[in-house]
Structure 1
Amino acid sequence: MFFEQEEARGQTVRGDSEARGQGVLAPLERLETQMNRSQKRLKERAEEKDLKARIHKLRLVRDQLRAEVKRRESTVQASGAGVEPGPPLAVSTQETLERKEETVKALLQAYRFTGLSAKMTSRGVCVCISTTFEGNLLESYFVDIEIQKPLRIHHHSVPPFIPLEQLSAKYLQTDIQHFLFRLHEYLNAYSGRKYQADRLQSDFAAFLVGPPQRNALCNLLTFTYKVEPKSPSSPFCARLVYKDLAESLPTAVTVTAQGKRRPGDGAACALGPSWEEQQAAHEDLFRTKPLHHVFAAFSKEGEKMYAILAS
């Protein structure tokens, strides 16, 4: 009997505890339900706001298209006044698109003649810049431009010493055509300077006393040379500076005589101009003509001199 009474008392206590627990959890469950409903309402409102914004944009596009259609219809009507009925509007639009396509093709062809060509990419457009000097095709470089706002250069092969960042900051966002033309000028001038230095070293090594010295940009070139390779006369030292990086000819030239002329240098010295006259003439040649042209002229003058001495 005693045990039965204790068991009944324990069941009563457990029942009271569960009732109290349910009484505490019930408000929490109600709060959670209210919170879920509030979040659902906020989500629905955000979606509704987004849909309204999309509808507004689509309406703007629709209005623009309607205005464009009306404008084209009025243009066709004005051009066709007093003339026999022409083809439908769709055909006229197709002809307009074809004319635009032909114009673009002609423009791209013209760009190719200037050393620029382009092709569309997934990001935007990739422009190939081909460099030449005196009709010789030299290096090619590319610039991959992302078509976005603002325009951005995604990747390129332009040498680091070319002022690409300055040109981009100055022209890319306002005049991309001018940006490409200016970049082409810099690259073409660099390739031209490099081409001349390479030709000097490969084709006229007999005139040089030691290899020429140049920096990576090829805007500073120094070399020691003789006008007549077989002559015992003292050589000249030339220093060419290209301050304008968009040009392939030097802006400052200094030619100095290495050593002094000896009295017994021979009849060739007596027949030739003085050292000062030669220096001035050489500086003028280096400033106005490509390097390989200057040394080709030296070679011809040497042949003439040998012919005079032999006669």
Structure 2
Amino acid sequence: MEQANSVRPDGEPKAGILAHLEGLEAQMSRPCKRSKELQQARAEESALGTKIHELRRLRDKLRAEVNQQRARGKASSANVESGQTVEIGEQEVLERKQESVKAILQAYRFTGLSGKQTSRGVCVCISTAFEGNLLDSYFVDLVIQRPLWIHHHSIPVFIPLEKIAAKYLQTDVQRFLFSLCESLNAYAGRKYQADRLQSDFAAFLIRPLQRNSLCNLLSFTYKVDLMGQSSFCARLLYKDLTATLPTDATVTYQGTEALSALREEQRASHEALFCTKPLHQVFASFAREEELDLSLAS
């Protein structure tokens, strides 16, 4: 005998229908399950983020407390041992200055600065030059103490050593040496030009060259045409003591005849030459013109 209701009127078994319904139900439940898993993951992520933020806040708080304790400890130690700390601090400053001077001398050994360490500090030698010609050398004996001071030196009295030292020695040793070197080289360059004019071009000078000790004011009367009677008087002023070319050049005509257009042109060109070329180079050009005129005349 067949089991009752085992087959539907349309002939489909009941078991197949239930299985189909269960499959549909499973398919519908999958998205819901994934949505719940996603929500759960987001909730866990949010909780972790909150926890991380809280841990960072606690870390920063602890770090600040540690820094405060260290600062209080250092302040307390400084108050207890203030005298010793000041002494050590000054010693460190002096050692750093000494190392700075050594580094400067090493850096400038190819630019005219050299030196050696002494029992008191360091002795710096400044060698001057102009146009590749080595000129005079000077020395400064520095005592590395607090404050730094100059024990001996061979700097000429007209070089503003005290002014440069007051401005830079205690705050910037490198700037002090550089400024001093710059002033000495400029003086040596001006002196070199004046010496060359007197020794190599004396035939062009009507009267001896006049100059001051710093060689920043030169005055001389000269002629361009060695066979002529016309002459010029030049006054060169070097306002910048670190320069080897004059800042002001004044040339006046000294001839017996009236100032012609040609002489005025010469006078103006000489003023421009004195401000743009070294003194001995200007007179070297005068000599070449004289030689050219003599060759044309012969």
* Matched residue, 2:138: 141
**Normalising to structure 1: TM-score of the pair?**
0.62
Deviation of 1:155 after TM superposition, in Å, equals 1.1
| Among 178, 181, 185, the residue aligned to 1:184 | 181
* Matched residue, 2:233: 237
Matched-pair contact (CA < 8 Å) for 1:233–1:261: no
| Among 168, 190, 194, the residue aligned to 1:193 | 190
Distance 1:246 1:239, change over 3 A: same
Range with greater deviation from structure 2 (105-114 or 178-187): 105-114
* Matched residue, 1:291: 279
Distance in 2 separating the partners of 1:172 and 1:199: 35
**Normalising to structure 2: TM-score of the pair?**
0.64
Whether 2:111 is the aligned partner of 1:123: answer no
Distance 1:193 1:111, change over 3 A: same
What's the CA shift string for 1:125-160, capped at 9, x where partnerless? 110011000011101011111101111111111111
Distance in 2 separating the partners of 1:239 and 1:108: 39
Matched-pair contact (CA < 8 Å) for 1:168–1:179: yes
What's the CA shift string for 1:175-208, capped at 9, x where partnerless? 1001100000000000111111000000001111
Deviation of 1:275 after TM superposition, in Å, equals 1.0
Counterpart of 1:261 in structure 2: which amino acid?
E
Matched-pair contact (CA < 8 Å) for 2:236–2:249: yes
Deviation of 1:302 after TM superposition, in Å, equals 1.2
Q: Please, which runs of 5 or more residues in structure 2 have no aligned partner?
A: 1-79, 89-98
Matched-pair contact (CA < 8 Å) for 2:221–2:231: yes
* TM alignment of 1:193-272, pairs within 5 A: 193-229=190-226, 231-261=227-257
Distance in 2 separating the partners of 1:276 and 1:299: 20
Deviation of 1:306 after TM superposition, in Å, equals 1.9
Deviation of 1:107 after TM superposition, in Å, equals 6.0
What RMSD, in angstroms, separates the aligned Cα atoms of the two structures?
A: 2.8
Distance in 2 separating the partners of 1:151 and 1:117: 19
* TM alignment of 1:1-311, pairs within 5 A: 57=84, 108-229=105-226, 231-261=227-257, 274-310=262-298
Distance in 2 separating the partners of 1:217 and 1:290: 17
Distance in 2 separating the partners of 1:106 and 1:183: 17
Matched-pair contact (CA < 8 Å) for 1:242–1:249: yes
Q: Please, which runs of 5 or more residues in structure 1 have no aligned partner?
A: 1-52, 62-100, 264-268
Percent same amino acid among aligned pairs?
Answer: 67
Matched-pair contact (CA < 8 Å) for 1:212–1:222: yes
Counterpart of 2:250 in structure 1: which amino acid?
T
Matched-pair contact (CA < 8 Å) for 2:229–2:255: no
